[in-house]
Amino acid sequence: MKDYAKLVILGSSALLVLLAVFLMLYLSYPREDNNAQAQNDKPGEGAKPPAGPGETKPPEEIAGPEDGGGETNGTIEAGEPGKDYTISSPASLRAIVEESYRATNLYDGKVVKIESVDLPKIAARLVQHYRKYHPEYNIDSADTQLPAGTVIRLPNVYIVVSGDNLESIAKRVYNDRKQWQAIQGLNMDVVPDATKMKPGTVLILP
């Protein structure tokens, strides 16, 4: 009888130990907070609902220059020809020209509109000018990306039209025909002969 009682006591003790171990394991096991999960899955407050029939998912964001992705011009401010221009965000010379060369100023305050078809010509002419007179800009083409903070000089330009000659251009721009030599001196690579002017030629003005 005594042996039986001992067995019952030992069995009960073992059962209690097993229950205690099970309880400890149960309490220590990580559990998800169902309420928190449900809260996070609400549309507009966490995960976005999947696209329904006929809907398309928004495109994934593409990394910009700062993120190691493709190059982009971003938003740039227009410069003023005849003055220094500080680039506000990475941009190509082509983009700067498109924003800055919409008109050219004459000596008497008149503004001559520059047609959009002439903007690529201006960009190409500026590349020639910068490579010759400002190699520190490191501009090899109109698509050369210039970093933010770069300061470049945006020269005034003139688009040659039929009937122009250097003296008439000097008169129109500076009201002084004698300035034709200064104009030719800065444009010898495109106007080697002062008597031959091709319409559409872009001149850099001193």
Residues 31-57, mean pLDDT to the nearest whole number:
45
Same domain for 31 and 113, yes or no, is no
| 128, pLDDT greater than 90 | yes
Higher-confidence residue: 69 or 140? 140
Same domain for 34 and 117, yes or no, is no
pTM above 0.85, yes or no: no
Same domain for 36 and 78, yes or no, is no
Residue 154 lies in a domain: yes
| 6, pLDDT greater than 90 | no
Instruction: Name the helix (H) or strand (E) containing 157.
Output: strand 157-159
Average pLDDT, the chain: 76
DSSP code of residue 110: -
Residue 66 lies in a domain: no
| 109, pLDDT greater than 70 | no
Same domain for 96 and 186, yes or no, is yes
Least confident of 52-61, 73-82, 196-205: 52-61
Residue 158 lies in a domain: yes
Least confident of 40-49, 119-128, 132-141: 40-49
Both tokens of 2, joined, read 């005594």
Same domain for 106 and 183, yes or no, is yes
In one letter, which amino acid is 37?
Answer: Q
pLDDT of residue 154: 93
Residue 36 lies in a domain: yes
Domain of residue 90: give its range: 74-204
Same domain for 109 and 156, yes or no, is yes
Tell me how many domains the chain contains: 2
Q: Strand ranges (DSSP E) for 79-154? A: 83-86, 91-92, 103-105, 111-113, 145-146, 151-154
Please state, for a pLDDT cut of 90, what percent of the chain lies above it. 44
pLDDT of residue 21: 65
